[in-house]
Structure 1
């Protein structure tokens, strides 16, 4: 079995693959100061509680945007699983032609998403929209060229900014709403956060279509913690919440 771990700015998501099948997925909060022992005990515990023997794990694949947490996770993998993990970083095989001026700047999670998206939708122009701490949009050509993308504040960051910077605004539930005109402060915040994300994403996808895809509409693949909020928003063609985990599995196969 293969354990895949995606460490984001806010959460760590994990999955266990039995062959190409995702048998288990899980999530926990991520922070840079987590210790190797915390990681190791958590991972062994979540496996055992789901009837998976930790000794059945043969490989571990990781993508991370938190360098300190990556170091702790490496320590945990070696101590608790006797495995040196495969980590997505510059120089590994991805199957992508990355056109960033400095390819090392592309987030590992964005690379993992792109690997899975081109595998699942071959020979198609793609935009991968990731809805997490940040909202990211990546333009990928049918020839597997990773052209680049856009990064904007995610919906939770937007809420935090409002609450912290506006004296009379309190926190609200992050939710999909069916009205643009709120009839209370809370409803107005929810509307602004939700439709603000939709508006920004739609505008950027439209510009990518014209700049990169010669005016042809790309297939838009959505993923990330908040992607389910936008299921009915009309901006996504496909939703794959576990896209990064699937990309990690594929990257490990390419580099095995």
Structure 2
């Protein structure tokens, strides 16, 4: 059994292949709203042998891309994909004011840790930075903030004299040239926010919890974080695989 797992975000479409309950490969392409199902098909074929895929699972926060990928899967692969949506069995309770507002990506990462005995804070360092608190098989609270990429884009789009820059960690926190100053702000700044919010959450929940980091910018930010944490870049795919097994049964 070969399972194709999709995590469709605003910046990238991340996808992985699972075989025998193990993630064996993962890739990403840009989230292009103008791309058709045929164009996605041509792109995906460059990475994986689609003829060997037997099942597909999709978690998405971009409806337009979801439609194109569902069309691709149904027409090209002759498979009805499993979409992560309110009616889907996930094993995750959502204790929020409006559970239907909670994104499929948040539910998917939570699905991987709900069986843990200890409460867990998942920090997803993607386009936005998301903090998902999981306790007793339920999402009990979430924080969403501007991530590294959003912060950079906000700076360059709203200030005429600031240049577009590569995202990397400068040598010092206090820098002396424009580009390094911006890089310091969005890397050390996000790391300081992560550490600060972990401390505030500890004060609020008044219990010990594990911290798991994931997401595309985790490799940049993790070395700057002072709190103990475990990084799992495949967390969302593991969660999607767990949800697939739940629905398969």
Unaligned runs of 5+ in 1: 49-53
Show CA shifts across 1:115-145 (max 9, x none): 12335xx11111111111111001111x112
Q: Note the C-alpha offset of 1:185.
A: 1.2
1:255 alignment partner in structure 2: 247
2:69 alignment partner in structure 1: 73
1:124 alignment partner in structure 2: 118
- Residues 236, 93 of structure 1: CA spacing in aligned structure 2 closer, same or farther, 3 A cutoff? farther
Determine if contact 1:117/1:221 at 8 Å carries over to the other structure.
no
Once superposed, which parts of structure 1, at least 4 consecutive aligned residues long, lie more than 3 Å away?
Answer: none
Q: 1:219 aligns with which of 210, 214, 218?
A: 210
Unaligned runs of 5+ in 2: none
Determine if contact 1:221/1:238 at 8 Å carries over to the other structure.
yes
Matches within 5 A, 1:163-178: 163-178=156-171
Show CA shifts across 1:170-213 (max 9, x none): 1221113342111211111111111211122222222222223x
2:139 alignment partner in structure 1: 146
Determine if contact 1:139/1:208 at 8 Å carries over to the other structure.
no
Matches within 5 A, 1:100-249: 100-119=96-115, 122-141=116-135, 143-212=136-205, 214=206, 216-233=207-224, 234-235=226-227, 237-249=229-241
1:25 alignment partner in structure 2: 26
Show CA shifts across 1:33-83 (max 9, x none): 3211112222233213xxxxx232110000000001111111000111100
Tell me the TM-score normalised to structure 2 length. 0.94
Show CA shifts across 1:1-44 (max 9, x none): 10101100000111100112111111100122321111222223
Matched positions, count = 246
* Whole-angstrom CA distance in 1 between matches of 2:114 and 2:211: 12
* Whole-angstrom CA distance in 2 between matches of 1:177 and 1:21: 37
Determine if contact 1:136/1:152 at 8 Å carries over to the other structure.
yes
